Amino acid sequence: MRKFKTLLMAITTVAALSSCSKDDNNSKQGEKKPDSELKGEGKISLQFENYVGDKKLVLGTGPANAEAYTSNGQTLKFSEVKYVITNVVLVKSDGTKVPYNTEDLDKGGFLINQENVASLSPVLNNIPEGDYQGIEFGLGVKKDLNDLKLQEKFPNFYKLTGKYSFENGKIMHWEWANGYRFVKLEGWYTNPTPGKNKKGEDLPAVTDGELSIHIGSAFKGTKIKGEDGNTKEIKDLILNADRDAFRFVSLDFPKNLTVKKGTTAKVTIKADFDKLINGTNKISLTGKIPVIHNLNNMFPFVNNIGGNQGIDGKQIITKIFPTDEKPNPETPLSNLDNSKLDKVGMFSILSVK
């Protein structure tokens, strides 16, 4: 009798286990999968690596403890490095382009901040399965979205770029204009031969001078002058196409990148800040560069790090600044190399996997 009871218990246990197994299978079959898996989507992690030449960029808190980098016969040291990436477009192996939230700064806008490790690795979600041969992205914010008044539409991006106080100067919003800073670099520079002054005299060597380079788009308008001859206001501000500091970067992968359902691929992108003053345009730093509000000084830096490609794929030719005599000048800036289309600026692909 005892054997029977034991056998009955065993049979009952097996039956129960079998029933549970069937229930589990039925439960799993009926379980709703994430939309990304149903659609065959994966992720791509973008890893931004900031360099100066072949050395990784490291921040310092003062000129005495900051890493010194040699560039174009000068020395650069950095205390702050930030830049905005938006308008990401992935290029499939057949040439098809896949935009990534290009009209939504909350989902498709990223602040690359050297002092914040997490910010260096933004993740692109819900990427269709397939093979990709390249990536395109904007350095800065395109003119349609470069408007701080859109903060209610893109509250997360507004906070991301403006979470620092005005007092400590780390905010990525212009204090004096309605738009975003695209690039913000702070630090120190040394230049043993900064050039000559207007009289042709040699300028004194600079050691650990202040480096402060802020890049963003510029607007033009009509100056309204008062009786004293000074400007009272500027009306009818519009963004002049060739004064737009937004640059569109196009990079080819060294090999096809395969995105698979439910997995995360990785693209490592190098940003080489040696190009800041040692790029297409060779720049000798003097004083606080660029001079505040001096657009002619800003655009050589813009083209060095962002190239000169517009979002339409065409070369941007920056003209001389408009004047009352020539409100729509056609003459290119003399301090810019416009000899060819530059699609990459300071960026390159280190690896894909």
Q: What is the secondary structure of 146-205 as a DSSP string? A: --GGGGGTSHHHHHHHH-S-TTTT--SB-SSSSSB-SEEEEEEEEES---B-TTSPBPPP
Q: What is the DSSP letter of 318?
A: P
pLDDT score recorded for residue 220: 56
Residue 174 lies in a domain: yes
The rounded distance, in Å, linking the Cα atoms of 325 and 277 is: 33
Residue 198 lies in a domain: yes
Q: Given the structure tokens 């297409």, which residue do they identify?
A: 280
Residue 29 lies in a domain: no
Whose CA is closest to 207, among 186, 189, 185? 189
Mean pLDDT by 10 residues, the chain (353 residues): 32 34 47 54 98 98 97 97 98 98 98 96 98 98 91 93 64 81 95 90 93 81 66 59 86 98 97 97 83 72 96 90 72 85 98 97
Residue 269 lies in a domain: yes
Residue 164 lies in a domain: yes
For residue 93, give the 3-state DSSP assignment.
coil
Residue 32 lies in a domain: no
Residue 72 lies in a domain: yes
Residues spanned by the domain of 73: 46-352
pTM for the whole thing?
A: 0.82
Sign of the torsion angle spanned by Cα atoms 207, 194, 170, 100: negative
**Residue ranges with strand state E in the chain:** 41-52, 55-56, 69-71, 74-92, 97-100, 110-113, 123-128, 130-139, 183-191, 206-215, 219-225, 231-239, 247-259, 264-272, 347-352
- Work out how many domains the chain is built from and give that number: 1
C-alpha angle 294-296-298 in degrees, rounded to nearest 5: 75
pLDDT score recorded for residue 240: 57
C-alpha dihedral, 228 to 232 to 237 to 243, nearest 10°: 60
pLDDT score recorded for residue 12: 31
For the record, the structure tokens of 313 come out as 């794929």
Residue 39 lies in a domain: no
pLDDT score recorded for residue 195: 87
Contacts of 15 (CB under 8 A, 6+ apart): none
For the record, the structure tokens of 105 come out as 């700064």
DSSP letters spanning 337-349: --SS--S-TTEEE
pLDDT score recorded for residue 345: 98
The rounded distance, in Å, linking the Cα atoms of 310 and 245 is: 9
For the record, the structure tokens of 159 come out as 């906070």
